[in-house]
């Protein structure tokens, strides 16, 4: 399998508010480093760097004003005399507030985000742009004839909404890949998100569209992040009615229950008739993940890879979450190797 990756991600490691304390984010550079080491130690992978960042491709799924904000926020932060190591919001537009874009940077940090679990640091934009380029390049390689390509993205993207960041995500890599496939002629694209946490950003971006369908298997948002999206009754709106599928599960489910939901998802994906598949591959469903609560074992990820291959579609696999850092690489290779062997 072809792997698109870069070391530029190491420029980004931000702070997050966790349990009332500011800590180094769980979404650390070592996540990608462990994945890269596992890939390098396993035969059968071809490596390639990404093409250049394509801002127009990003603005096809994200608000241009939001993209401009992300690309300039750190310079504005330091240019305003701030010496703190990360730019973070001090307030957010909540219920009964007006949707008015403020001028002040600290207010915009709240306007353009929905959670205090990620911030903007010196290398954030550089890494975010490179991660988007990786996803876009992976889609291009599939369009050029590769059957499946792994976009080793970092930071992840599936929580990034049209104009808000949060959940360690700034630009929505899976949405960028899906849109690239559509723009180049794929008749219908499906995004299948198997991360522990609901891909609220991908849902937001495609919720009123019929040409890209989105299916999530995830922890029930009544008790898990992102809390405010991901419920079963959210099925799409307007032209997108019926093209969004959420399969929320309670904390602690085992592999049998989880794979039963994957079977449901598979039937739903097939019913959409996609010409290409984008997989948001979060592996925080692992039993030892420190911030998640499903019970999948390492061997279950090989089974997952076999299931993904069974769609028999041109596929972009985009790396999302997974915070059992030392095990993440092994688990990722289990999925990718099994996918290749099952094709």
What pLDDT sits at residue 133?
A: 98
Neighbours of 20 (CB within 10 A): 5
Q: Is 159 considered catalytic here? A: yes
Question: pLDDT per position in the chain (343 positions), as tens?
Answer: 999 999 999 999 999 999 999 999 999 999 999 999 999 999 999 999 999 999 999 999 999 999 999 999 999 999 999 999 999 998 999 999 999 999 999 999 999 999 999 999 999 999 999 999 999 999 999 999 999 999 999 999 999 999 999 999 999 999 999 999 999 999 999 999 999 999 999 999 999 999 999 999 999 999 999 999 999 999 999 999 999 999 999 999 999 999 999 999 999 999 999 999 999 999 999 999 999 999 999 999 999 999 999 999 999 999 999 999 999 999 999 999 999 999 8
**Cβ-contact 308, 193 below 8 angstroms:** no
What pLDDT sits at residue 194?
A: 99
What pLDDT sits at residue 32?
A: 98
Does this model's pTM top 0.85?
yes
Which residues are within 8 A (CB) of 108 and not within 5 positions of it... i.e. 6 or more apart?
69, 73, 101, 102
Which of 9, 136, 158, 159 is the catalytic position?
159
Alpha helices (H) in the chain, listed in sequence order: 29-40, 55-59, 64-79, 105-111, 124-143, 173-183, 200-206, 255-272, 298-309, 325-342
SS3 240: helix
What pLDDT sits at residue 242?
A: 98
> Across the strands, what pairs with 244?
214
What pLDDT sits at residue 188?
A: 97
Structural domains for the chain:
2-13+20-53+123-342 (3.40.800.20)
Q: Using the 8-state DSSP alphabet, how is residue 87 labeled? A: B
As given in the structure block, the two tokens for residue 3 are 């792997």
């Amino acid at each position: 399998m072809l792997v698109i990756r870069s070391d530029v991600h190491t420029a980004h490691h931000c702070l997050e508010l966790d349990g009332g304390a500011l800590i180094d984010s769980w979404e650390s550079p070592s996540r990608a480093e462990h994945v890269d080491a596992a890939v390098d130690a396993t035969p059968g992978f071809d490596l390639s760097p990404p093409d250049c960042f394509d801002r127009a491709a990003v603005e096809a799924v994200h608000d241009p004003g939001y993209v401009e904000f992300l690309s300039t926020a750190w310079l504005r932060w330091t240019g305003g005399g701030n010496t703190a190591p990360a730019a973070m919001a001090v307030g957010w537009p909540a219920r009964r507030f007006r949707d008015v874009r403020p001028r002040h940077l600290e207010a915009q940090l709240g306007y353009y985000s929905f959670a205090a679990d990620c911030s903007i640091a010196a290398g954030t934009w550089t890494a975010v742009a490179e991660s988007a380029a990786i996803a876009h390049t992976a889609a291009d390689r599939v369009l050029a004839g590769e059957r499946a390509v792994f976009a080793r993205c970092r930071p992840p993207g599936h929580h990034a909404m049209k104009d808000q960041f949060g959940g360690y995500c700034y630009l929505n890599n899976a949405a960028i890949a899906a849109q690239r496939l559509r723009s180049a002629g794929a008749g219908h694209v499906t995004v299948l998100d198997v991360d522990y946490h609901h891909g609220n950003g991908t849902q937001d971006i495609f919720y009123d569209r019929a040409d890209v369908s989105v299916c999530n298997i995830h922890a029930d948002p009544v008790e898990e992040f992102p809390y405010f999206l991901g419920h079963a009754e959210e099925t799409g709106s307007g032209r997108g009615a019926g093209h969004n599928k959420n399969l929320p599960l309670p904390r602690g489910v085992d592999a049998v229950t989880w794979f039963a939901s994957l079977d449901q998802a598979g039937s739903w994906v097939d019913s959409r008739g996609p010409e290409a598949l984008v997989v948001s591959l979060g592996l925080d469903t692992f039993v030892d993940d420190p911030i998640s609560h499903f019970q999948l074992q390492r061997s279950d990820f090989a089974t997952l890879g076999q299931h993904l291959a069974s769609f028999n579609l041109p596929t972009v696999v985009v790396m999302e979450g997974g915070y059992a850092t030392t095990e993440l690489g092994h688990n990722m290779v289990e999925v990718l190797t099994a996918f290749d062997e099952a094709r």
